[in-house]
Each structure stands twice: as C-alpha cells, then as structure tokens.
Structure 1
Amino acid sequence: MPTGWQSILSKKVHFYSQLKGKDKDRFERDVVRFLTKVKITGVSCTVELEDRLLVASSGVIPLFGFPACTYRGLEEVILYPTTFNRQFQLDDPDELITGMVGSGVMEGKMILSKPALHEGFDISNDKENTGIHEFVHLFDKENGFIDGVPPGFEDKAFALPWLQFVHTKIKEIDADQSDIRYYATTDAMEFFAVAGEYFFERPVLLKRKHPALYKALVKTFNQDTAGFISEGFKKVEIGRNDLCLCGSGLKYKVCCWEDEYGW
C-alpha cells in the first residue's frame, strides 16, 4: 500500500483501526484491489485520495469475511457534491437521496453523496454509514437482485423465517420499542441495509439488544464484529432522563440504562 494511506485509514475508518496483524494487512490489500477494479469519479466535485479510500473501505467492510471476493458487475462509483433525486438532479428538497445502487442504464454503477460518505466515517457510533449501507445493498444483490434476503438465505427454508423475523423487528420499530433506525421499516431491503450499518458500527450494542439479529448477521457476513470492534467512543456522564447515546431517540432510563445496569 502506498505511503500515507495507512494513516488516513487509521484516522478515518474505525473498522480498520480495530484490526490486528494479518487482518489489517489483508484489509489494505483489499482496498488496493478495489481501487484497481472500480473507477471512482466525481460529478461537479473533485475526488481526493481520502474520498477514494473511504469508498473502497465502504466496499471492503461487508465482504471482509469472504477473502478475495469482489462485487460482481460493479464498474464505477460516482460521487455527487450533495444529495440528489432519482433523476440524478442535485439539491431537490423533495427527494434527498444520499446513496443509490444503479440499475437499468446505470447498471454497474453506484452513486454516493460525498458529504454523506464522509459523515458516515466521521461519526462512528451513530449506527449510520451511507457507504456501508449502499454496499450492503450490493452484497444483497449477489444472489441476482436486491430483495432483503441475504445471500445464503435464498432457499425457502431460510428465506421465509428470515422475512418473518424482519416483519417482527419492523413492528417493534413502528411501536417505538427498538433502537434500530426507523428507515429500516421501509421494506425488507432497507431493513437489511440498516441492520448492516448497525452491525458494522455498534456490534457490541447490537449483540446485547438484538441477539438473534446479531447472530443472523454473523452468519450472513461471516464476521463476528463484536469480537474485535470497540464501541468507538468514550463514556460520558448522562442522566436517566437524557436522550440515550445509542441514537434510539429514547430516554436513557428506558433504553441502554436497563442493559448496562440490568434493571
């Protein structure tokens, strides 16, 4: 890996910073391989080295449990300077898209908002990462299409229980009984992508609060992320009636307080 790349990854990519020895070396090789295979271009914005490394890291993380695997058909990632709509027009107040896996004439391409890409890595504990979200969609597509059924779960014996489980989790979110981001209620596809963000950013919390979901994602991504990714932030003093730091929108006393103190 070229000089200076490791320092950027260590500073910006929490997942990478938690790896040790051979795993860290493999991540670096995967990033280099990604960048040799996938073109990264900017529309009305420049593409810097840091942008390229964050895009590559977004792609490497979901596949890290499958050494030497790549995304079939991905040719280009396009960065936009802001949000966009489905016609790829910028700053539409009625449609603020931050990422999209291309289809039709855009097949083989992914579009990402450059600011959203950076925000996903700048804040490593909010269970949100636009780059990872879109690459989880692309991982979902490995079985032919994006349907919210993880690769390896296509058989009815696995797909139906998974979709029933997703339906149950979505009902919990709708009832304000979950800290999973509300966007996951859109459909099974978005649930899988949102759950993937949670799995790669806050795995320890996910394992504690949603053990069945965590177990399924360990199998899906072939990674036990809670075993090596720390929470990524320092503990601070928080009152029982303050909003919980996990991002659920709930008060601390009815959210992670119960997990931390067993009440």
Structure 2
Amino acid sequence: MLYILPLLILAAAALYFFVFRSPDARTDTHPDTWHPILIKHVAFYANLNSRAQRRFRSRMLLFLEETYVEAVGFELEELDTVLVAASAVIPVFKFKEWHYENLSGVVLYPDNFNEDMDFDENHPDRMIGGLVGNGRYENQMILSRSSLHLGFDNTSDKNNTGIHEFVHLIDKVDGETDGVPERLMEKSFVLPWINLMHQEMEAIDKNKSDIRKYGGTNQAEFFAVAAEYFFSRPKLMKRKHPELYKMLMMCFDPRQKKSA
C-alpha cells in the first residue's frame, strides 16, 4: 500500500493535467518556425509580450488540431496555415476559451473567386475574397490566398479578409449572421449596438466615414468590416470612432463587461 498511494496520486495528477487543464496551459509543441513568421506578418502578435505570444501560438495549435486547412489549385505553404490560424485566434484571443464549433475546415483558393467558386483568370467577375459556406459548403470557410496575405501584409489600411470571415462565424454562433453577436454582448447593449450600427452605416452611405464602404451593405457586413478596422488599426478607431471602439471592446474583451 505504501507504494500504491504515491502511484495513485501521480496518476490523478496526470489525469488532471491532460484532461482538465486550460487550453492556454497546453504544452508549447508548435513548430519553432511559427514565431518569426508571426513577428514578420502579424502585427497583432508582434505587439504582445512574450507570455501572451506563447498563449497565442497555443491557441493556433488548438485551432489547427480541430480544423483542417487545405488548398485548391496550389501547394499549401506554412505561411498560409499560420495566417489562417492567426485570423481565427485574433478575434477571440481575449476569451479564456473558444472553439469554432460551426467550422470544420478552411479551403484556400489561389486568388479571388466568383459565386460559382471559379477562380479562373478568364472570369472578370472574380470579386470574392472570402466567404462562410452554406448548403453543401456548410461548416466550411473559403478564402482567397491572395486576399488573406494582403490583409496581413498591408498594415496601413483597415482591411483583413481572414479576420472578416472569422467574425462572421462568431456572429453566426447564435443562429443568425445578423451583425448582433448575442454570445458576446450583454442583452442591455443590443439595442444601443443596433442604433450605433445604423448611425455608422448611414455615415458610410453619405461618404462621411472612413469605415470601408462595404460595411454599409447590411448589419452583418458592418460588424465584420468594423471588426477588421478594430483589430487592424485600434488606435485610429479609438480616435475617430470612440463609441464604436468602446462597443467592440466589450464584445471582444470579456474583462470590459465586468467593468462596464
């Protein structure tokens, strides 16, 4: 019995560590090449301290364990996979845990595509950079590789296709892609958020806003476009759109809900 008790304690500790530990406490088993790629291409990551960067990479690893990433028409490279995973992690990084339960895989096309999923250069209507699938594409995301890369390489604008599409998935969790992320927002803020959205959309339509024009299409697109701006140029949004910035902070950072 003297030998059995320590073994039982060790087994219980091992069970707790592997089964009940937080995703952020996962062993850092990602490739060593991720860090320099992220530093070079992902400003959000580069601005984190070293501890938060380790947590970011762990979140990427978890996402890639749960979601496949594949390419159509070209050979997938590590940078492609890293940028997809970073796009997934950025909007939910402040949450203790998040699983994209409405996503099974991400499919990358070499360039923009049309509604028929055609990315042939002979089709001038190839205007789509990304979409969240429905019907036979349910639980899939389709992204243009060129648009995905541009979103991270061009740090002077407010656009990021990868983040945009993952925000649509977050919006869709409550059953509707309607620009009202009920899983992220306290009920008391829903009506003020809708009113603020429509004020901002009206300003876009009147060319009185620096928010991308596509954000005026409907509520769902406004939320995704505003989130691109929020994560790509947070300081600029805070200065130019303080109320919108505050609302998005409450959506994407649970700590803000406690202090509101």
Partner amino acid, structure 2, of 1:82? D
Q: Determine the structure 1 residue equivalent to 2:162.
A: 131
Quick check: which one's helix share is greater? 2
2:92 counterpart of 1:63: yes
TM-score scaled by length of structure 1? 0.81
Query: Does 2:44 correspond to 1:30?
Result: no
Unaligned runs of 5+ in 1: 225-263
Shift of 1:64: 0.4
Q: 1:39 aligns with which of 54, 68, 78?
A: 68
Is the CA contact 1:63–1:70 (under 8 Å) kept in the aligned structure 2?
Answer: no
- 2 CA distance for matches of 1:112 and 1:27? 22
Shift of 1:223: 7.1
For the pair 1:72 / 2:101, whether they are aligned, the reply is: yes
> Contact 2:171–2:177 (CA<8 Å) still a contact in 1?
yes
Question: Are 2:128 and 1:97 equivalent residues in the alignment?
Answer: yes
1:7 aligns with 2:36: yes
TM-score for the superposition, normalised by structure 2: 0.82
**Residue aligning to 1:87:** 116
Q: Deviations 1:155-177 (Å, cap 9, x if unpaired)?
A: 4x433332221111111112221
Letter in 1 for 2:89: V
Give the C-alpha shift of residue 104 in structure 1.
1.4
Choose from 168, 172, 179 the match for 2:199: 168
- Equivalences, count: 224
Q: What's the RMSD between the two structures over aligned residues? A: 1.7
Distance 1:120 1:147 in 2: 23
Farther off after superposition, 62-71 or 130-139 = 62-71
Gaps of 5+ in 2: 1-29, 256-260
Question: Between Structure 1 and Structure 2, whose CA radius of gyration is higher?
Answer: 2
Shift of 1:24: 1.1
Q: CA deviation at 1:95?
A: 4.6
Report runs of 4+ in structure 1 exceeding 6 Å deviation.
Answer: none
User: In 2, distance between residues paired with 1:130 and 1:137?
Assistant: 11
- 1:215 paired with 2:246, answer yes
Q: Percent identity?
A: 48
Question: Which residue pairs with 2:11 in the alignment?
Answer: none
Q: Does residue 183 of the first structure (1) align with residue 214 of the second (2)?
A: yes
| Counterparts of 1:58 and 1:124, CA distance in 2 | 14
Cα deviation, residue 154, structure 1: 7.5
| Residue identity opposite 1:23 in structure 2 | A
Aligned partner of 2:12 in structure 1 is none
